[in-house]
Amino acid sequence: MPAAEPSWWETAVVYQVYIRSFADGDGDGIGDIAGLRTRLPYLAELGVDAIWINPWYPSPMADAGYDVSDYRDIEPAYGTLGDAQALIADAHGVGIRVLLDIVPNHTSDQHMWFRAALADEPGARLRYHFRPGRGPGGAEPPNNWQSVFGGPAWTRLADGSWYLHLFAPGQPDLNWAHPEVRAEFENILTFWFDRGVDGFRIDVAHGLVKQDGLPDADESVETAQSLVQDRAGHPAWDQDGVHDIYRGWRAVADRYTPERIFIAEAWVDGNERLARYLRSDELHTAFQFDFLRTPWRARALREVIDDAIAAAASVGAPPTWVLSNHDVTRTVTRFARSQPHHLIETDWERGRWADEDPDHELGRRRARAAALVQFALPGTAYVYQGEELALEEIEDLPDDVRQDPTWAQSGFTDVGRDGCRIPLPWTETDVPYGFAARSDAVTWLPQPTHWAQHSVQAQERDPRSTLNLYRRALALRPSLWRDGSAIRWLDVTDGVAAFQRGGVQCWVNTGHSGVPLPPAATVVLASSDLTGDVLPPDTAVWLRSQ
């Protein structure tokens, strides 16, 4: 019997739209739905199957929209519910599915529920985690948990009580043991599914349930700080009770045709823990972040690829490949410096692991090669806006324009994530490079003065640009890499990783010298120019083997 055709989401390329920085339709310097609608043809031409839109709900923007004050409406700076409906219809019209970002771990402190809690309305505080403090006069936080953004995970109100926020103080954590919380979120899912949304990326999916009694964390894993830390054993993360919530969500999604799907953002201790979120009655896929933590070394790449595929296969889910997102240093810059062995420290992720000057040209070569590896792998691939333009992290933003709460909460020691969130350059003009409908618009984060050359317009003209490489790769991917999920590693020289799927091979050279390609192979696509039949350093190639 022939194998069933995979569902779209099992092989999809999903483009992440960071809406604030994608395209600005009204000229206020902030991206919006109108801007996104005008750029849908660009996304269709790029060849993506779906978009994931970062939170677009009303928000005081304590954390760039991850502090939601109303889950059933649109942030006025981004548009209206009517605009959202039109966007969903337009996207579907050009064959692009729409995934939203749901933020269930916390609300905004301006959410109706938290305002009721602040006013101490009867029962309102039970929807959050309110506790008395410790020590004399209750002046110490209730436990030793640290916020991901720095400082204690607790804030004290004027009446002396403390509330929990694993992120910013403007993001109070919900109490998921409360039945109203569960019911409310199932209802929110229904609200958007009814409007045609194809699925959700689940923010902090591993955080919803806290260990009973909120015990102190063991000193050895004492901090929750950093999104990328090894969380094993911390009572705030990856508690077994969270799975029951997702079984409920899956039941909601399964009521709909066509399929509605979930993607978990779950920073957990290894792929085995992650696979638990993907059991058949839970979520469809989850981001596997090891790929983006991997240094530019063939052997390390091979290990994370094998591990990700095996873990996903153990629960029958497709693996996922992420090189970048709005929380980590852009790929070009990660690859623009020397490559240490252990890449899970925050400092490394944020590109400040050394005082080395970045070599962006080297970073670009490697990022292009990494993209060809990413698109050759089985499963789903995520592209963060601007990756297709090979944009680099902007590391020298003036301190007074920084918006990420990490900056202040870390006591001005951690610059945070603004550098990967700069508005996109569309045209070769001066700033704002066609990002905004008005040429005198002041963008919410300043763009660098040298980005005209990286704009969409400049890259469309250049056949060797990264944009054109992405377009070609995505056009070829469905037919070329269609065959099965198994990959077979080829026995090649050190510093090179090479695998075969069906009749096609992908080779990547992370070493320092050129490597001969197999004589009878035909090159289908290369990330940089080849020298004869030699694969140069920091280059990947797709080959048809004879």
Interacting residues toward ligand GLC by CB under 6 A: 63, 66, 103, 167, 203-204, 227, 265, 326-327
- Closest CB 245 distance from ligand GLC, rounded Å: 17
**Cβ-contact 273, 231 below 8 angstroms:** no
Q: Which residues are catalytic?
A: 203, 265
Supply 483's token pair: 């065959």
Maximum Cα–Cα distance across the chain: 78
Supply 333's token pair: 């810059």
Q: Which helix (H) or strand (E) holds 356?
A: none
- Closest CB 84 distance from ligand GLC, rounded Å: 20
- Closest CB 50 distance from ligand GLC, rounded Å: 18
Q: Which helix (H) or strand (E) holds 414?
A: none
Best CA proximity match to 268, nearest among 176, 325, 315, 204: 204
Measured from the CB atom, the residue of 101 and 198 that comes closer to ligand GLC is 101
Measured from the CB atom, the residue of 103 and 487 that comes closer to ligand GLC is 103
> Backbone phi, then psi, for 74, in 5-degree steps?
-115, 140
Measured from the CB atom, the residue of 387 and 428 that comes closer to ligand GLC is 387
- Closest CB 59 distance from ligand GLC, rounded Å: 11
Query: Which positions ≥6 away from 123 have C-beta within 8 Å?
Result: none
Measured from the CB atom, the residue of 21 and 465 that comes closer to ligand GLC is 21
Residue 338 identity (one-letter amino acid): S
What is the distance between the alpha carbons of residues 283 and 312, in angstroms, rounded to a whole number?
12
- Closest CB 488 distance from ligand GLC, rounded Å: 34
Measured from the CB atom, the residue of 55 and 318 that comes closer to ligand GLC is 55
Best CA proximity match to 170, nearest among 150, 155, 160, 184: 155
**Cβ-contact 318, 11 below 8 angstroms:** yes
- Closest CB 57 distance from ligand GLC, rounded Å: 12
Measured from the CB atom, the residue of 197 and 227 that comes closer to ligand GLC is 227
Can you give the three-state secondary structure of 146-198, one letter per residue?
ECCCCCECEEECCCCCEEECCCCCCCCEECCCCHHHHHHHHHHHHHHHHCCCC
C-beta nearest to ligand GLC: residue: 66
